[in-house]
Amino acid sequence: MFVFILILIIFSSSFVNGADQNTCTPNSIQKNTSTILSNLRREMQNEGIGIYVIFSDDEHGSEYTQLYDRRRDWITGFSGSAGIAVVSLRTAALWTDSRYFTQAEEQLDCANWLLMRDRNPGVPTLINWLVSEANQTALPPGTTTVFTTTSWWTSANTALKEIGKELRPVNDLVDRIWPAGERPNQSQNSIVTHEIQYAGETVAQKLNRTTNEIKRRGATTTVINALDEIAWLFNLRGSDIPYNPFFKSYAIVHANYEVNQPELFVNLSQLNTNQHPPGVRLFDYSMFWSRLNITATDTNISRIWVSAKVSQAILSLIPNNKLLLPLSNSPVQRIKARKNPIERKGMQDCQIRDSIARMKHLGWLEQQLNDGKSVNETQSSEQLLVYQKQQVIFQFPSFRTISASGDRAAIIHYSATPDKARLITKNEVYLLDAGSQYLDCTTDITRTHHFGSPKNLEKRAYTRVLQGVLDIADAVFPTGTYGRSLDHLGRMHLYRDGMTFGHGIGHGIGHFLSVHEGPQRIASAYSQYEEALADEMFISNEPGFYKPDDFGIRIEDDIEVVLANKSTYDNTQYLRFNTITLLPYERSLIDVTLLTNAQLNTINQYHTKVAQVLEPLLSGDEAALNALRSRTARIDLPSTTTSNSPSSTTTSNSPSSTTTSNSPSSTTTSNSPSSATTSNPPSSTTTSTSPNRAFMSISSPSLITFVLILIHLF
């Protein structure tokens, strides 16, 4: 205990000393939250709490929420999708990650809020700060448990108990102070059936697979609160949540589902009688809590499986001796991540439609610029939507399009607005990250373009990012491999030039569901809920590089995990990736001198495939065809070239060295070790990362001095 208190004192001191770096600059466009905070603190005192935590989630832990549920946005003025607000009786702070630093600096009410740039040096974690603040506050901290995941609740309480405090559950305090006239109405759009021609399985088949998993784990019942899982399981889709085909709902599913039918809780006015899934009991959404209590106290139900991501409100109603422990991922999440054959075909087919829309847009944009016409970021994304809507069974975008010109491309999750949109020019990079929701798939594709003569550093960074894309696509790995084991493959070439980026390589992708899906991912950080990659999963492949106030690069393909070879030695099954995106890379940004023969051949083979598929489908659109042909034309590697540094020489590979590889084109060439190209960074290496700097460059003399000091001290 003494050690913990000592650490807490040190933390508290560092929080005070580092307060300056946790501030941001007030400006006239930021929302004034003074009155809101005053009203909230009044309600906090009425509830007997000294600190209140406001999450960005709704009751279902949704990544995207409808306007009605954006409590944190309203409280802070910050609208980024990731961020947690904490209000005490004396201060207020917002935590967000490096993707949103710039947006938070622009939107957050900096006169009243601290901006905690999560994982930056000197910035405390939210829970450490909560403990420090609680230690100086007489009243306990509190949260609204319906918006709080059980995993966060447990972690926070474990830390708070060290100082004799614990979280107090309270009702929604924001709901009390948010004026009805200002608050948007709840969305109540129609819920529709997701037809079998797209779903590939009936509800009964999905229930059978889900309940087999429940039985395998020795459980009798599962409670589901994730909206994508419920939409998938019952073959239903809605439009209550922006960019997602979801509707507010809960479900309770029993292992003996044919006798004890599943219970689905929705707003019944949204669902027509002919849309009712067969073999399912329907209840109004408001009935969930009473039915959960009945389920939890039913003596015939011995073990209940809930996800670690359910709300603390749900977990608190289930007796501990009935919980399936340790908490893990939902059985539905595990099953839906591996797509059935119809879903897989849809995921592959719709990439062609999406690529047609992207090429038509690219051709249009390039023509506008060549004609000297002005196009800004929001006008560009609006025109992309025109082309997306022309595609068969397109529904809506899968997220808000990131249309970023010049230095704005360095903001990872940049969000352009009409009043601040930058012009797209021929002398700056243009990053376009966009996705679509079709009845048969979900897409997420990023390309970085240049319509003039890029700078050497832009070309070098782009090529290093592209090499990371190629190395991920080329990976072969045994079953049971976690994505975190592959993350370094997307960064190795960037590391050569002192570059990196502050986000993961890849996230799972749903099937006409969420653009971000688990439990699979490719990211270096450990997560106890990450699960191994398996065939029939889909995931993104998106390395990047972001030089603040200058430019940003990201390339993103969608890839499928497929079976590779089986070992003849120990029968181990191996897996690989198949790139399903069909969109050319930006030829003008490729520094050929950095590429190996294998990489160059892979790019050329991929571009040949892209041209063969798309060219017939773009017939009649000369602008799109010109954009396609100019980017898919063969690239040749000079026999001998000199790198950008006067002091370093790069020798090309022998053309005769080839081997099989899992390239984006699903065909192969790879150089032998004897013909590897060693490419040195430029003489003036730029060590630049995303806004969240991932490493420090320390000179050898400084490092030696530091070690000697440590030896002296200890």
| Tally of CB atoms within 10 A around 569 | 6
Question: Tokens 């950008």 sit at which residue?
Answer: 644
| pLDDT computed for residue 422 by the predictor | 96
Task: Count how many domains the chain has.
Answer: 3
Average pLDDT over residues 560-589: 97
In a domain, 506, yes or no: yes
Same domain flag for 11 and 127: yes
Using the predicted structure, report yes or no on whether residue 133 has a pLDDT greater than 80. yes
Using the predicted structure, report yes or no on whether residue 2 has a pLDDT greater than 80. no
Same domain flag for 374 and 304: no
H/E segment holding residue 96: strand 92-96
Average pLDDT over residues 448-455: 97
| pLDDT computed for residue 91 by the predictor | 94
Same domain flag for 535 and 584: yes
**Helix, strand, coil fractions of the chain, as percent rounded to 5:** 40, 20, 45
| pLDDT computed for residue 120 by the predictor | 87
CATH number of 580's domain: 3.90.230.10
Average pLDDT over residues 114-142: 93
Query: Which residue would you say has higher pLDDT here, 21 or 679?
Result: 21
Instruction: Indicate the residue type of 613.
Output: V
Same domain flag for 452 and 543: yes
- pLDDT one-digit tens code per residue, 250-306: 999 999 999 999 999 999 999 988 889 999 999 999 999 999 999 999 999 999 999
Using the predicted structure, report yes or no on whether residue 245 has a pLDDT greater than 90. yes
- pLDDT one-digit tens code per residue, 378-428: 999 999 999 999 999 999 999 999 999 999 999 988 889 999 899 999 999
| pLDDT computed for residue 6 by the predictor | 47
In a domain, 490, yes or no: yes
Boundary of a domain, candidates 291, 313, 336? 336
Using the predicted structure, report yes or no on whether residue 163 has a pLDDT greater than 90. yes
Look at residues 400, 404, 362 and name the one whose alpha carbon lies nearest to residue 383.
Answer: 362
- The b-or-e profile of 526-543 (16+ CB within 10 A means b, else e) is eeeebbbbbbbbbbbbbb
H/E segment holding residue 141: strand 141-143
- pLDDT one-digit tens code per residue, 530-555: 999 999 999 999 999 999 999 999 99
In a domain, 708, yes or no: no
| DSSP structural state of residue 123 | P
| pLDDT computed for residue 196 by the predictor | 97
| pLDDT computed for residue 23 by the predictor | 72
| pLDDT computed for residue 493 by the predictor | 97
Instruction: Indicate the residue type of 532.
Output: A
Same domain flag for 172 and 202: no
Average pLDDT over residues 167-179: 96
| DSSP structural state of residue 278 | T
Same domain flag for 20 and 140: yes
**Domain coverage including residue 268:** 192-336
Same domain flag for 122 and 248: no
Same domain flag for 119 and 197: no
Same domain flag for 98 and 162: yes
Residue 636 vs residues 447, 604, 605, 655, 660: alpha-carbon distances, Å: 22, 9, 12, 11, 20
| pLDDT computed for residue 21 by the predictor | 59
- pLDDT one-digit tens code per residue, 28-86: 778 899 999 999 999 999 999 999 999 999 999 999 999 999 999 999 999 888 899 99
Three-state secondary structure readout of 213-255: HHHHCCCCEEEECCHHHHHHHCCEECCCECCECCCCEEEEEEC
Which value, to the nearest 10 degrees, does the dihedral of the CA atoms of residues 370, 371, 372, 373 take? -110
- pLDDT one-digit tens code per residue, 643-686: 444 444 433 343 333 334 445 654 433 333 333 333 444 433 34
Using the predicted structure, report yes or no on whether residue 495 has a pLDDT greater than 70. yes
In a domain, 568, yes or no: yes
Average pLDDT over residues 443-467: 98
Same domain flag for 330 and 404: no
Under the banding of pLDDT at 50, 70 and 90, the label for residue 25 is confident
| pLDDT computed for residue 11 by the predictor | 43
| pLDDT computed for residue 640 by the predictor | 60
Under the banding of pLDDT at 50, 70 and 90, the label for residue 7 is very low
85 CB-contact burial (10 Å; exposed 0-12 / middle 13-18 / buried 19+): buried
Using the predicted structure, report yes or no on whether residue 222 has a pLDDT greater than 70. yes
H/E segment holding residue 290: helix 288-297
Using the predicted structure, report yes or no on whether residue 110 has a pLDDT greater than 90. no
Query: Which residue would you say has higher pLDDT here, 117 or 689?
Result: 117
Instruction: Indicate the residue type of 188.
Output: Q
CATH number of 267's domain: 3.40.350.10
In a domain, 707, yes or no: no
| pLDDT computed for residue 708 by the predictor | 41
Query: Which residue would you say has higher pLDDT here, 526 or 387?
Result: 387
In a domain, 115, yes or no: yes
Same domain flag for 152 and 225: no
In a domain, 183, yes or no: no
Boundary of a domain, candidates 177, 205, 234? 177
| DSSP structural state of residue 375 | -
Mean pLDDT (the chain) is: 88
| Tally of CB atoms within 10 A around 330 | 25
Same domain flag for 51 and 112: yes
Q: Which two tokens stand for residue 20?
A: 């300056």
In a domain, 706, yes or no: no
Question: Tokens 């897989």 sit at which residue?
Answer: 344
d(CA 543, CA 534): 21
Average pLDDT over residues 107-124: 90
Boundary of a domain, candidates 146, 177, 208? 177
